[in-house]
A = this chain, B = another copy of it.
Amino acid sequence: MVRTKASESERESTVGKIDKIFQGAMQEFLAHGYAGASMDRVASQAGVSKATVYSHFKDKEGLFKALIHQLATEKFQNTFATLPLDGEPAVVLRTVITKALDKMMSDTQHQAFLRVLIAESGRFPELAKAWIQDIMTPTIEIFGEYLDRHPELNIPDTEATIRIVIGSMVHFMMTQEIFYGKEIMPMESDRMVDCLMHHLLRGMD
Contact = CB atoms under 8 A, between A and B. Distances in A.
Interface in A9-32: 31-32
A84 interface: no
A54 interface: no
Copies of this protein in the complex: 2
A122 interface: yes
A66 interface: no
Contacts of A198: 156, 202
Nearest to A161: B195
Interface residues of A, number: 56
Interface of A: 31-36, 112, 115-116, 118-119, 121-123, 125, 128-129, 131-133, 136-137, 140, 156-157, 159-161, 163-164, 166-172, 174-175, 178-181, 183-185, 187, 191-192, 194-196, 198-199, 202, 205
24 contacts: A33-B33, A36-B36, A125-B180, A128-B180, A129-B183, A132-B175, A132-B180, A132-B185, A136-B179, A136-B181, A136-B185, A140-B185, A156-B195, A163-B168, A163-B175, A164-B168, A166-B171, A167-B168, A167-B169, A167-B172, A170-B171, A199-B199, A199-B202, A202-B202
